[in-house]
Structure 1
Amino acid sequence: MVTLSQEANALWRARALVWVLTRRELAARHTGTAAGVLWPYLQPLLTVAAYYLVFDIVFAMRLGEGAPARAVGTFLVVGALPWMAFCDAVARGMNSLIEAGGLLQKNPLPPVLFTARAVLASALIYGPLLLLVALVYAPLHSFNTALLGLGALLLLQLLLCLLLGYLLAVLAAALRDTVQLVNFLLSVGIYLSPILFPLSLFPENWRWVLWLNPMTALVQGYQQILLQGAWPPASVWYVTLAWLAVTAVLLNVAVKRSRDQLVDWL
C-alpha cells in the first residue's frame, strides 16, 4: 500500500490547492443560473420532497410489518438522499481525470487532486442536506446518542466515494467504456439496495445480491439511526470497512500500474 500512501501524502501537501479547486468546482456548477449557489442544493432537496409528497401525502402508502418505518416516503428519503450523494460523487470522480486531461498534460500535478476536488465538491452539497434531514428525523427519537454514529457513516461514505471515484477515474482513462458501464450500474443500483424497500421484503435466497452494492450497509446504518433511533449493527461497520479495504487494494494496484501511462491515456 506504499503507492496509496504516497497519493495520500500528495493530497495532504496540496490541501490548500484542493480547497481552491473545490470552491471553483462548486462555483462552476451554478454559474449562469438564476438561483445561484442555491441551485445545486435545490435539485436533490426537491427530489426527496417529491418522494414525501407523492408517497406519504398524496397516496398515503404504507410498508408492511417489520419495516423500519410505515410511511413509504419517510422511508425513501433516508436511503435515497445518501444514494444520490454516492452516485454524484462517484460519477464526477470517475470523470475527473478525463475532464482535467489537458491541464494534467501541461502541468505535473498529482492526478488525485482532481478526483478529490470532484468528490469534495459533491460532499459540500450533499453533506449539509444529509445533516438537514437528520435534524428533521432526530426529534422522533428525542435526539438520542445513536445520532453520534451519523458522523462516522458520513465520513466512511466520503472515503468510499473518494477511493472508488479515483479507481474508476484511472480505469476510465485507460478504457472509456468504463464510464458507460458505471453510469448504467449507478442507474440500476437503487433497485439493488434497501432504498425502495426494506431488506426484509427482498427474497431471502437473493439477498446476497444486495450486498454487492457498496451502499447497502451504509443505507442500513442511516435507516437504523434516523428511522429507529438505534445504533447500527456490527454488520454495517464490518461490511463498509470491507468495501473500503477491497477498494483501497484495487486502487493501489491501479495507480501503481498506470503511473507512467496515465497522462498519455488522457
Structure 2
Amino acid sequence: MESRPALIFIGLVWARAKADFGSRYAGSALGTLWNALQPILTIAVFSAVFETILRVRLPKGDLPFGYTLYLCAGYFPWLAFSESMTLGAGAFLRNAQFIRKMPVPAYLFVADVVLTSFIFLAVNFAIFLLLSIFAGNPVSLTWALIPIIFLVLWVYTYCLGLIVGLVNTYFRDVGLAVPIILQLWMWMTPIVYPIEAVPESFQKLLMINPLTPVLAMLRDATLNGRMPARHDLTLTALWTIVLIALATLAWRRLGRDVRDLL
C-alpha cells in the first residue's frame, strides 16, 4: 500500500515537469529551440575565444570542432545543474500556496524543477551527440552510460537544490546569493578548460568539486569511448552518499517547519 502514494507522487512530479517543459516556450515560433539557442551562442563565443583566438588545444583536438565537443559535454550538464539550483532555491516560496493547501511532500516541488531542467538537458545533449557524429566521433557502446551518469547528476542536483531551498525558506538572502556562487562554481569546474591545464596542486582542489568526476565520466563515455576511470567512480560514489545524507538530514531538521514559514 505504501508504494501507491509514492507512484502517485512520482506521477505528479512527471506531469508538472512535462507541463513546465511544454509551457515555457508556448506560443513562440521556435518553441523549445529557444532553449538550445542560448547555450549554443555561449558555446560559440567560448569556442571563438579559446579555440580560434587563443588556440587552446583540448581533448579531441584532432577532430573538427574538437574544443566545441569538449565544451558541449561539460556546459550542457552544467546549464541544467545551475538552472536547477537557481530555481530550486525558490521552489518552496514560489509554490507556497500549493504547499500550504495540498497534502503532498514539499520536496516534490524541488524534484519538479530539477526534472524539467534535465528534460531540456536531454534535448541539448541529443544535439551535442549529433554534432559529435557529424564531426567524425564514432558512436560507442559507452554512450549507453549517459542515462546512468545523468541519473547520478540528477541526484546531486536534487540533493543540493533541496538543501538550498530549505535554507532559503529560513534565510531569504540565500536565494539571492546562489547566482553569484554559481558563477564562481562554474570557473572552479573543468568546463571550458581541461583539468590538466591547471597546476597539479590546484588539480587536487578541483577534484574536491563534486561535479568534476561526473563531467569526466561523461566526457570519457561520449568523447573518448572508454569506461569511467576508477578514481572518478570512487569520488562520485562518495559524493552521492554524502549529498544524500546531507539532504536527508536537512529535510528532517528543517522540512517539518516549511509550511509554517511560507
TM range (shorter): 0.7 to 0.9
Q: Distance in 2 between matches of 1:9 and 1:182?
A: 36
Distance 2:169 2:214 in 1: 28
Is 2:59 aligned against 1:68?
yes
Question: Given residue 14 of structure 2, which amino acid in structure 1 is its aligned partner?
Answer: W
2:256 match: secondary structure: coil
Number of the residue aligned with 2:130:
135
1:192: Cα distance to partner? Answer: 0.7
Q: Contact 2:92–2:165 (CA<8 Å) still a contact in 1? A: yes
After TM superposition, the structure 1 stretch with the greater mean CA deviation from structure 2, 224-233 or 137-146, is 137-146
Q: 1:226 to 1:263 in 2, by over 3 A?
A: same
Question: TM-score, normalised on structure 2?
Answer: 0.86
Paired residues of 1:55 and 1:61 also in contact (CA < 8 A) = yes
Could you list the runs of 5+ residues in structure 2 that have no partner in the other structure?
Answer: none
Q: Out of 180, 184, 192, which is 2:180 matched to?
A: 184
Q: Which amino acid aligns with 1:224?
A: D
User: 2: CA distance between counterparts of 1:221 and 1:21?
Assistant: 30
Note the C-alpha offset of 1:40.
2.3
Contact 1:30 1:36 in 2 (8 A): yes
Q: Which residue identity is paired with 1:123?
A: F
Aligned to 1:3: none
Are positions 1:38 and 2:30 aligned together? no
Deviation at 1:38, TM superposition (A): 2.9
> Which residue among 236, 240, 244 is the counterpart of 1:240?
236
Q: Which runs of 5+ in 1 are unaligned?
A: 1-5
% identity of equivalent residues: 24
1:256 to partner: Cα distance: 0.9
Q: How many residues align?
A: 256
1:225 pairs with 2:221: yes
Match of 2:256 in 1: 260
Report the 3-state secondary structure (helix = DSSP H, G, I; strand = E; otherwise coil) of the residue aligned with 1:159.
helix
Judge which range, 9-18 or 208-217, deviates more. 9-18
Opposite residue 202 of structure 1, the aligned amino acid is V
206-215 vs 184-193, which deviates more? Answer: 206-215
Cα separation, partners in 2 of 1:177 and 1:169, compared to 1, 3 Å? same
Aligned ranges 1:141-160 → 2 under 5 Å: 141-160=137-156
Give matches, 1:160-179, under 5 Å.
160-179=156-175
In structure 2, distance between residues paired with 1:247 and 1:16: 24
Match of 1:123 in 2: 118
Question: What RMSD over aligned residues (CA atoms) do the two structures have, in Å?
Answer: 2.5
TM-score by length of 1: 0.85
How far is 1:31 from its partner? 4.1
